[in-house]
Amino acid sequence: MSKRLIRSIQWRGIEIPQFVLGTVQLGLDYGISNTSGKPKNKEIFQIVEDAIDHGICFFDTAQAYGDSETLLGEAFKKKSLQKQVNVISKWDPQLDPNNGEELYHSIKKSVNRLGAPLWGIMAHDETWLDLWKHIQPVIDRAKEEKLIQFAGVSLYSIEAAKTAINNPKIDFIQMPFNAWDQRFLTKEIQQLAIQKNTLCFIRSIFLQGLLLMSPDDVKKKMNNAFQLSNEWNKVSYELNKSRKELAFDIAHTIQCPLVIGVDNKNQLRQNIKLFDRKTLSLKDCENIRKKIAPFLYPQITNPSEWN
């Protein structure tokens, strides 16, 4: 039986798979629903190989994701995959954005750990946008030396998204979007990105796993989200979809590459199958949003607000 290949979108003549493999779980114990911790190295190598076999050749990592870059590099080297992969990393937010040499050498270290040039480097902190004039010379130098192809910003706020998209030196952005946080589903942001030819990656589609948990489990971890989780569960039951299918369908309506992390190869395969289904209409998604809207609060939808 042939393997499913993830569909791609076109941007500046480049094919970008709709599924980008997030790798924070490979380097850190991450996610409110994660009970298994980091996968073993052997499992990581299998995840990477399986992803590439299914056409997932883009990987999202960061200098602050523990040893994620190193483990990815080892996986690429083990199977001689360096020329088949495209890696996006993020500067460690603890670096000084005013220190060009520090930023430049951190890119070189990432490239050495990965054993391949970076497709893109991102600012991990949207406040760096205010200092972009100090960062841009580093990006220009890294592009000239073929250490990176593109530069972007990982952001959280709508205002930062507008600032980034309106900066012609910023090639792409990464923003959160999920069933409980649909702030970026606005015509203004989407049309601006199209007009400026800025690529948008979507992260946090399962809200660190919170959208996948049963209401009882949510209550144990985050009591203030119980009512919302209960309503979300009712919607899932009414539409005869699993919580995971429902969360994916809503995220997929935005038609941008989705950064999705996995803890093991079975999760990877389950996530690949999500792309082969008929998803919800925009009208369905709007109806769902209205049902859960009374229970939505930033303390729930913004992980930085979690205790």
pLDDT in tens, 53-81: 999 999 999 999 999 999 999 999 998 98
Burial (CB count within 10 angstroms: exposed 0-12, middle 13-18, buried 19+), residue 135:
buried
pLDDT at site 248: 96
Q: What is the dihedral of CA 170, 182, 243, 90, to 10 degrees?
A: 20
For residues 174-178, give the mean pLDDT.
96
Residue 127 clears pLDDT 90, i.e. is over it = yes
* CB-based contact 305:297 (threshold 8 Å): no
Task: List the chain domain ranges.
Answer: 8-214+244-280
What is this structure's pTM?
Answer: 0.94
In angstroms, the CA 183 to CA 256 distance is 15
Overall CATH class of domain 8-214+244-280: alpha beta
pLDDT at site 173: 98
